[in-house]
Amino acid sequence: MAAAPGRRPRCLLWAAVVAHVVASGAGFVEDLDESFKENRKDDIWLVDFYAPWCGHCKKLEPVWNEVGIEMRNMGSPVKVGKMDATSFSSIASEFGVRGYPTIKLLKGDLAYNYRGPRTKDDIIEFANRVAGPLIRPLPSQHMFEHVQKRHRVLFVYVGGESPLKEKYIEVASELIVYTYFFSASEDVLPEYVTLPELPAVMVFKDGTYFVYDEYEDGDLSSWVNRERFQGYLHVDGFTLYELGDTGKLVAIAVIDDKNSSVEHTRLKSIIQEVARDYRDHFHRDFQFGHMDGNDYINSLLMDDLTIPTIVVLNTSNQQYFLPDRHIESTEDMVQFINNILDGTAEAQGGDGLLQRIKRIIYDAKSTIVSVFKSSPLLGCFLFGLPLGVISIMCYGICTADTEGEVFEHEGAKKESGDRELTDEGSEEEQEEEKNGKYTELSDGELKQKDIMEKKKD
């Protein structure tokens, strides 16, 4: 069927417009140079420190252009820029840039690191959160309900001026990169909330709320850092990295999300039930969740776990625990956790010397295998060429040693032969000497014969 008249030109025109908009995103991102150091304090800046040769930086570039467009369209006071950290290394060093790409929000004398996923929405959410006030007031119940719907984890200070509020502000300035902080009066809170005393710090999550208790929970900063995650998570590599700051053990059901078999869904349900029903027992020491697939966990543990299974990770020292029998019920999982807490469960892995050597060997092997899988020709060139050169050098050295031994042997043999000829003389000389003796004896006999003949006469 023939295309409708004008449809194809319109499609081409639309594609050209889209390409132009995406390309023009670079116009909303400022290229920064050495003058940025003196001028930056007048504004709030979201900066990407990159290296031209960095593959991750090139992958981030179109996302960064989209961030620039979105921030400009929404009227944000945050300016978006990028700086070549290899050309302006002294400025990058002052901001603590140690890898590429590094994303920072610069606000006055403060620099906030972004450690989240490199997606447009996550980066924009980070910028808006950090650029705004540390403590956001909730003046009404309607505002409280609106904010609670938008945020899965919500920290709220309730009360007037107090040392606790000063500490709350201090913690907010440190952890604003991870979560929001709010304040409210007691009459703004939902009716189901009851507070034993004021002032108080609360966290709303998992459909309920928990009140900070200095005597049971310890330091407020540590408590906020532990409670900023939901009780149950979909765990990936980035989440595990963040959970390392909490000091918690991470209990994970390693499953295949696409597999709807009873075994996969059962282990996931067991972890969810323990996280919900045993929160008061384990929430200070454990984080619960599930992970889709075993590729990442196998590389992390340098082991080959078959799924579905359950593993408990200690992200602080790289140890891990595996159940010694099948987890059939919530009670089995609770017993396994208690064994870990009382030290009867066997810990594997760790960060000792042998494990570090094993990690180096494992990473090298994984790198070689991945290179050959992705590009066999490149793998042969990178690894085959050096091995070939080394083999030729070894062959040359060994061959040179063998030829040297042959030459030395022949030289020694010749020298020995010369020595024998010098001591005994040649065969011709010996023969002439022998003939000379025979000649001398014959002349004597002739003389004696002449004498005997004369006497006879």
| Catalytic machinery residues | 54, 57
Q: d(Cα 158, Cα 131) in Å, to the nearest integer?
A: 23
What tokens appear for 53 in the block? 């040769």
Strands (E), 238-390: 249-255, 286-292, 309-314, 319-321, 348-349
Q: What residues does 106 pair with on adjacent strands?
A: 45, 111
Q: Is 294 exposed, middle or buried (0-12, 13-18, 19+ CB in 10 A)?
A: buried
Query: Which residue from 270, 286, 322 is spatially nearest to 301, judged by alpha carbons?
Result: 322
* 259-to-256, 262, 266, 306, 326 alpha-carbon distances in Å: 5, 9, 12, 14, 19
How many C-beta neighbours within 10 Å does residue 167 have? 16
Q: Do 313 and 340 contact (CB within 8 A), yes or no?
A: no
User: What amino acid occupies position 35?
Assistant: S
Q: d(Cα 253, Cα 263) in Å, to the nearest integer?
A: 11
- Chain center to CA of 42: 36
Peptide bond into 5 cis (omega under 30): no
Helices assigned H by DSSP within 228-352: 237-243, 262-277, 279-282, 295-301, 330-341
- Residue written as tokens 């709010």? 182
Cβ partners under 8 Å of residue 113, min gap 6: 96, 102, 103, 104, 177
- Residue written as tokens 């003196």? 38
Q: d(Cα 338, Cα 343) in Å, to the nearest integer?
A: 8
* 234-to-114, 186, 292 alpha-carbon distances in Å: 21, 33, 8
322-348 in b/e burial notation, b at 16+ Cβ within 10 A?
bbeeebeebeebbebbeebeeeebeee
- Residue written as tokens 């042997």? 409
